[in-house]
């Protein structure tokens, strides 16, 4: 049985907390003005939030132009709880523990761990139990556990995972039997979009394109994640690039991710250069050394990838597209090469950027999910978090 961790249930209290998180340090008078609640109501709500140790008074602000008493400023008590975010890749596990403002307490990435339905509970349990030992140092302890999955997820249920077998088990049910913490399971690309929307930009219409073993798009429309039927929206990697092309685990042939994923790119690099082992760093090193074969591989990669991005732009017309790829982080010129292949008038004024959150983007998304569920805030914005 999962413990109900909501400490803010009343709508007006949620509105006050949302304003404090987004605009701190802020006075009670400013809260009243911004939300449209009378000062007495705001005073009662902030008194309760202070008693619950969710906010704190941090000093004296400037008085208004009309003079009078200087206001006491309020901010979130970021150390009231801990969020645990976990990304389960097919061959790695990433973990990030943060306070309630997204400040990172701990981050780790273990490579060479091949996730299966037989070992996933043990791996996740080891992580949770490690941080249970320090959770008592905060008022509310562990406020949520967010898990990023490389596959289709709908309402905590994993329905399709092309590169591991977690769709053959009930991960959410198994974990909620073991732990009382709120647990949130979501698609990795969706979480990168939530992470970017929360921590990177003020824009409320964006796409976050995750390019790893597969290719997925997280879609934010009017500040809300768009998931489509049964969580299937954003599976851009399974759009057909070449009819009757390479077979894909989804059942189609010629899917975009069979030509443009980082995994496929590195495998092609390994094959063409006849190497026993390859890394994004080695690929970047040879690219910048003007290796003709690597230059050719990258050019073809960018051409193919631009076709998928063109479709995203045409379908959704986002203000901004974030690119999250270990290869692109090392070879940022790829963004220019992609842009050179985007000539349609429909692409005008759409910005393509490298993700500022990088390999932690999905973890920041899981963190945002934990925090906003704990604080009962539907629109969480915490910009400029390290």
CB 120 within 8 A of CB 88: yes
Burial of 359 (0-12, 13-18, 19+ CB in 10 A): middle
How many Cβ atoms are within 10 Å of 336's Cβ, its own excluded? 10
| pLDDT tens string 103-153 | 999 999 999 999 999 999 999 999 999 999 998 889 999 999 999 999 999
29 with 143, same domain: the answer is no
Residues spanned by the domain of 185 = 80-194+361-375
Separation CA 333–CA 299 (nearest Å) = 11
CB 151 within 8 A of CB 158: yes
- Say if 4 falls within a structural domain: no
169 with 135, same domain: the answer is yes
| pLDDT tens string 351-366 | 999 998 999 999 999 9
Please choose, from the candidates 99, 176, 177, 97, the residue with its C-alpha nearest in 3D space to the C-alpha of residue 130: 97
169 with 252, same domain: the answer is no
119 with 179, same domain: the answer is yes
In sequence order, the 6+-apart residues with CB closer than 8 A to the CB of 112 are 91, 92
- Say if 152 falls within a structural domain: yes
pTM for this prediction: 0.90
Separation CA 152–CA 167 (nearest Å) = 9
Long-range pairs for 260-263: beta carbons < 8 A, 24 or more residues apart: 260/211, 260/215, 260/301, 260/304, 260/305, 260/308, 261/211, 261/212, 261/213, 261/214, 261/215, 261/237, 262/211, 262/212, 262/213, 262/325, 262/326, 262/327, 263/212, 263/213, 263/214
- Say if 382 falls within a structural domain: no
| pLDDT tens string 150-184 | 999 999 999 999 889 999 999 999 999 999 999 99
Quick one: pLDDT at residue 343? 77
72 with 84, same domain: the answer is no
Backbone phi, psi, residue 323, to 5°? -105, 125
| pLDDT tens string 245-285 | 999 988 999 999 999 999 999 999 999 999 999 999 999 99
For the chain, the domain total comes to 3
Separation CA 115–CA 89 (nearest Å) = 7
Separation CA 329–CA 350 (nearest Å) = 20
CATH number where 124 lies:
3.30.420.40
In the three-class reduction of DSSP (H, G, I as helix; E, B as strand; rest coil), residue 78 is classed as: helix
177 with 247, same domain: the answer is no
């Amino acid at each position: 049985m999962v413990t109900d961790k909501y400490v803010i249930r009343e709508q007006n209290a949620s509105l006050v907390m949302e304003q404090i998180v987004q605009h701190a340090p802020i006075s009670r008078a400013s809260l009243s003005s911004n939300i449209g609640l009378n000062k007495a109501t705001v005073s009662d709500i902030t008194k309760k939030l202070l008693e619950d140790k969710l906010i704190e008074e941090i000093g004296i602000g400037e008085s208004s132009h009309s003079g009078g008493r200087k206001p006491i400023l309020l901010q979130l008590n970021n150390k009231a709880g801990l969020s645990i975010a976990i990304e389960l890749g097919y061959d790695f596990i990433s973990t990030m523990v943060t306070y309630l403002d997204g400040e990172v307490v701990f981050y780790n990435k273990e490579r060479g761990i091949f996730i299966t339905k037989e070992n996933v509970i043990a791996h996740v349990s080891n992580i949770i139990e490690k941080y249970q030992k320090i959770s008592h140092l905060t008022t509310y302890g562990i406020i949520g556990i967010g898990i990023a999955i490389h596959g289709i997820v709908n309402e905590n249920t994993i329905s399709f995972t092309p590169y591991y077998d977690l769709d053959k088990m009930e991960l959410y049910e198994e974990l909620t039997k073991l732990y009382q913490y709120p647990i949130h399971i979501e698609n990795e690309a969706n979480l990168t979009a939530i992470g970017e929307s929360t921590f990177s930009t003020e824009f409320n219409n964006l796409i976050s394109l995750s390019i790893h073993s597969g290719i997925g798009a997280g879609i934010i429309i009017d500040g809300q994640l768009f998931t489509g039927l049964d969580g299937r929206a954003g599976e851009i990697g399974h759009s057909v690039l070449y009819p009757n092309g390479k077979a894909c685990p989804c059942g189609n042939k010629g899917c975009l991710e069979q030509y443009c994923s980082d995994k496929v790119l590195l495998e092609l690099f390994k094959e063409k250069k006849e190497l026993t082992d390859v890394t994004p760093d080695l690929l970047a090193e040879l690219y910048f050394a003007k290796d003709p074969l690597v230059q050719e591989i990258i050019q073809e990669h960018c051409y193919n990838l631009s076709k998928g991005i063109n479709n995203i732009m045409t379908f959704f017309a986002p203000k901004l597209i974030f690119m999250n790829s270990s290869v692109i982080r090392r070879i940022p010129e790829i963004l220019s090469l992609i842009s050179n292949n985007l000539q349609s008038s429909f692409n005008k004024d759409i910005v393509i950027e490298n993700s500022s959150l990088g390999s932690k983007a999905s973890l920041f998304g899981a963190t945002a999910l934990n925090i906003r569920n704990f604080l009962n805030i539907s629109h969480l914005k915490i910009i400029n978090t390290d």
